[in-house]
Chain A
Amino acid sequence: MKTTSKKWSAAVLLAVVALGARAAFAQTEVGTDYRWVTFFVFAVIIGITMYVTYLAAKRVRSASDFYTAGGGVSGFQNGWAIAGDYLSAASFLGIAGLISLYGYDGFNYSVGFLVAYITVLLLIAEPCRNIGRYTLSDILAYRNDPRKSRILGALSVITVSTFYLTAQMVGGGVLVKTLIGINYETSVCIVGVLMLSYVLFGGMVATTWVQIIKAVLLVAASLVIVALVWAPYGFSLPGFLQDVVSDPKVQARVATLLGDPAKNMSAAELGQRFLEPGLYLKAPIDQISLGMALVFGTAGLPHILMRFFTVRSAQQARRSVVWAMVVIGGFYLLTLFLGFGAAKIVGPADIASVDAGGNMAAPVLAQYLGGGPNAFLGNFMLAFVSAVAFATIVAVVAGLVLASASALAHDLYVGVWRAGKTVTPQGQVKAARVATVIVGAMAIVIGIAAKGQNAAVLVGLAFAVAASANFPCVLLTLHWKRCNTGGIVAGMLIGTIAAVGLTLVSPNLTYPKAVKAAAHKVLDAVPAKRAAATEGLASADAAVAGKAKKDLAALDKAVTKANADLAKWANDETSFMGLEKPLFELKNPGLISIPLGFLGVLLGSLLMRDRRAEEMWNEVYARQNTGLLVSKSVAH
């Protein structure tokens, strides 16, 4: 196995580098003279991670090595790896983009992502380390019916990971396509093959190091950009923000966002509005609901929980979270400068023209800081940030695939299907690798099939299910004496069904009737607008004529889009769920589905009696508080 895997990794390395090279040379975003820069940075990062995988492959001998790096990761390393696992492309590119387009509200997102780790630190990390072994279901199966809790736990892990994974694949495919011009399907395949080679050969050891390398690169790249943005102001926060709000590009953006009310506002007021809440998050209840999903959902994300099994003891698990909070919090503080810096230097309108969601804010900012599209440094910085973004996606996807594969191999195959029979250590590793290939191949297929899906909705769903099903079950089986199998079954089912069900009838889906009504409204307004613009075109004033020309172009674009919408939805009146309009007004179901999940565990536990769960309580209770025998479960 050892020598074959060595040969395989070498072959995969060559194939990926070759593929990357061809693809990088076919791109359009970086100037033609500088394509080799992109290729070079990509090759270096892939080379380093492949070398780490090659070293790691030699160390993976048992199931414990494969799933948890043999429990040999230190708290400090694990903290960086958690940050690498958690800071997905959505947070690196998405939050910087939201800040650059909507100001303050974007930054509010960052806060929720960090505060989430308090829940993990105080309630989840240490007991999980003391009770679990490889997977989330290990914790559930400890005192509850092993068969039922493993099946439900594994299904929930696979559900949450699949939503998250699809979001990463879709986001990653689009990102790589925009940044370096590889087509969507190829970039999904590259992400998939790279991730598979890390996980398959190097298991958790390689995955951990890929995540650490990626986190370090991400923080380093962000620090450089922030230093360049902030230094001209002598690192003064009010000085920097003063300049941001005084910028005409920012003021024009706020005026566009506010519409009519902006007419009575001075330029200074418009600029200041960028630092005030309400430009992006308009419904108050939605903000609170989203906050709940973030703060409680993180503690139920299987790929994050799994990271606590890679350390030796509860103390190291605690250190992991503290380091993760330092890195994650520090990074989110940097997004403030990435986002506002992009708004000031590049301008919201230009950022939105590259990508409507603002996802390109950080890369484009890097290019501007380096001197723009025609300078070597500008292209180098764009290439570097693109390569980091790519590494980001691969690292997150690797963690997700490992979590799903462990649910499939350790819980369903070893724990349920072969329950009561011995599976040899070699057999367990083999099962883990087979499961990795199955999940990895699925990820690629789903990634390609889900082209065009909304990545934000999928991430929201992953957090909602994690917060509504996994979190109540894990929390209560660890901390509540009466919790039992009935509670786990009811909590998992009710939490998942509520979260998914409410999302399916929420405003997140496309409602063709509303889309078509909006398109008709646009088309109805066209004649009047065209007449006004044509009149302006004839004006002697060059400025008026120029504006009219721009207006006409925008009008043409709007008409094309409206017609495309009408054609696309011509035969549909209702959403995917057969609804004309949303049944449920919240974009994030957390506010309703999290309490329902808890209620499920409470009622299920109280209505059903389970002697084993009660008898085992003393052991769970003593073990999670003292950490007794943990060293045994990780020894090998």
Chain B
Amino acid sequence: MATPNEVDWDAIIRDPRFQSLHRRKSAFLWGLMAIAVAYYFLLPIGAAYFQDLFKIRVWGVINVALLFALSQFVMAWAIAIIYSRKASQDFDRMAAELSAEFANPNSQARPGV
């Protein structure tokens, strides 16, 4: 494994581009996470405490409970797609820029472990 001093980690942390990457990434990730957790826990909470609402029939015999459970699949896939897009368009490029700049050229020549 690489020894810590091959790359000047402190310099990366101080770099405004890194700080901007981290700020945007954190806000995005934790925001999506909060949405997902809140949306998911509405399901057991609804199934337990709002049964009258969950029993309302919407489409033939299909009720709110079933539609809400199915919507969780849509939510999960939507978050996966939104995050992947954002990451591959934005975060990956910024990270690659920083990596290219800060990677110690000498460290590349050494055989890896």
Q: CB within 8 Å of B: which residues of A?
A: 104-105, 107-108, 111-112, 114-115, 117-119, 121-123, 133, 237-239, 241-242, 245, 271-272, 275-278, 281, 284-285, 287-288, 290-291, 295, 315, 318-319, 321-322, 325-326, 329, 332-333, 616, 618-619, 621-623, 625-629, 631-636
Contact = CB atoms under 8 A, between A and B. Distances in A.
A115 B72 contact: yes
Interface of B: 1-2, 4, 6-7, 9-10, 12-13, 18, 21-22, 25, 29, 32-33, 36-37, 40-41, 43-45, 47-49, 51, 54-55, 57, 59-63, 65-66, 69-70, 72-73, 75-77, 79-81, 83-84, 87-88, 92, 95, 98-99, 102-103, 107, 111-113
6 contacts: A295-B37, A318-B88, A627-B95, A628-B102, A629-B107, A631-B112
Majority SS of interface residues in chain B? Answer: helix
Given A238-B60, A275-B61, A633-B2, A287 B48 contact: yes
A288 B62 contact: no
A114 B84 contact: no
B27 to A, nearest CB: 12
A112 B76 CA distance: 10
B44 A322 contact: no
Contacts of B92: 315
Nearest to B73: A329
Contacts of A322: 80-81, 84
Contacts of B2: 629, 632-633
Q: Which 4 residue pairs spanning A and B have beta carbons closest together?
A: A284-B48, A238-B60, A635-B112, A277-B47
A115 B33 contact: no
Contacts of A122: 29, 32-33, 36, 79, 83
B7 A628 contact: yes
A242 B51 contact: no
A53 B22 CA distance: 42
Among A245, A333, A627: residue with most chain B CB under 10 A: A627
B99 A107 contact: no
Nearest to A295: B40
B65 A632 contact: no
A622 B15 CA distance: 10
B61 A245 contact: yes
B54 A333 contact: no
A536 to B, nearest CB: 36
Nearest to A117: B76
A616 B13 CA distance: 12
Contact of B69 (A111, A284, A628, A632): A111
Given A625-B25, A626-B18, A633-B1, 8 more contacts: A118-B36, A122-B79, A287-B47, A291-B41, A326-B77, A619-B9, A631-B112, A632-B113
A108 B13 contact: no
A133 B1 contact: yes
Contacts of B54: 276-277
A631 B8 CA distance: 17
A276 B41 contact: no
B97 to A, nearest CB: 9
A111 B83 contact: no
B102 to A, nearest CB: 7
Contacts of B41: 288, 291
Contacts of B60: 238-239, 241-242
Contact of A628 (B22, B103, B113): B103
Nearest to A296: B37
B79 A118 contact: yes
Contacts of B80: 117-118, 121, 321-322, 325
Contacts of A633: 1-2, 112-113
Contact of A625 (B10, B62, B81, B95): B95
Contacts of B77: 325-326, 329
B51 A626 contact: no
A392 to B, nearest CB: 22
A504 B104 CA distance: 53
B96 to A, nearest CB: 8
